[in-house]
Amino acid sequence: MSRPYPPHDLATLSDLEMLHRFVPAPDLLEWIRSTFIDEASPLYNHEHAHLRDADLGVLWTNCDNSKQMRAVIGQAELMPPMAMGKWQRARAIQQVEEWFDGMPDFLLTFSAPAAAGMDDPSFCALVEHELYHCAQKRDRYGMPAFNKDTGKPILVMRGHDVEEFVGVVARYGAEAAGVSAMIDAAKAGPTIGRASIAGVCGTCGLKAA
């Protein structure tokens, strides 16, 4: 399946013309699943296996999200949103449910203007970086945790941890993680390509704040 690109009007409007919009991206979600979560894919990553049955929501946006002179171009969030006032939370929940006909487990948002200009390895690294934030909880023994009633993985947000993001380095190079301590994993060379992602990840920015 060819990599999907954002809608032309989201990716090309000038700042003066731009109205901030968020648009569901079902084609991007399908590509993410078929590329990184489907075991038959050449780019399959077993570290995302817990997302096979997870409900993911994906959005394109043209809304600028710059922080400390860096443009945030990707973000992962655990749903439903929590850190809000009652009305803000109710409004956000209503909007997300209308977008996706229900509440997803995770919401992934990507900058349309940035994605339109990225090469394939850089875009893949960005997407996988956000997928790594969508984690499965570990029990007291460090094993994957499952819900006792449903048998499904217990999903949590993962911070930008050195050990947990070794997978990004191994697949795309140390620059993708933005952490020099990961250089040992990069010595063998990335299997897909090189990119610089951590500095433009909204989820990492939230953890660092």
- Would you say residue 113 lies in a domain? yes
The pLDDT score that the predictor gives to residue 196 is 60
Rounded mean pLDDT for each run of 10 residues along the chain, 209 residues in total? 89 66 96 96 94 96 82 92 88 96 97 93 92 92 90 87 62 63 59 61 57
- DSSP code for 35: I
- Would you say residue 65 lies in a domain? yes
The pLDDT score that the predictor gives to residue 186 is 54
The pLDDT score that the predictor gives to residue 26 is 97
- Would you say residue 2 lies in a domain? no
The pLDDT score that the predictor gives to residue 209 is 39
> 0.85 exceeded by the pTM?
no
Q: What is the b/e burial string over 123-160, where b = at least 16 CB atoms within 10 angstroms of the residue's CB?
A: bbbbbbbbbbbbbbeeeeeeeebeeeeeeebbbeebeb
- Would you say residue 131 lies in a domain? yes
The pLDDT score that the predictor gives to residue 159 is 77
Total domains present in the chain: 1
CA distances from 83 to 38, 88, 89, 90 (A): 33, 9, 8, 11
Rg (CA), the chain: 17
Expressed as residue numbers, the domain containing 190 is: 8-208
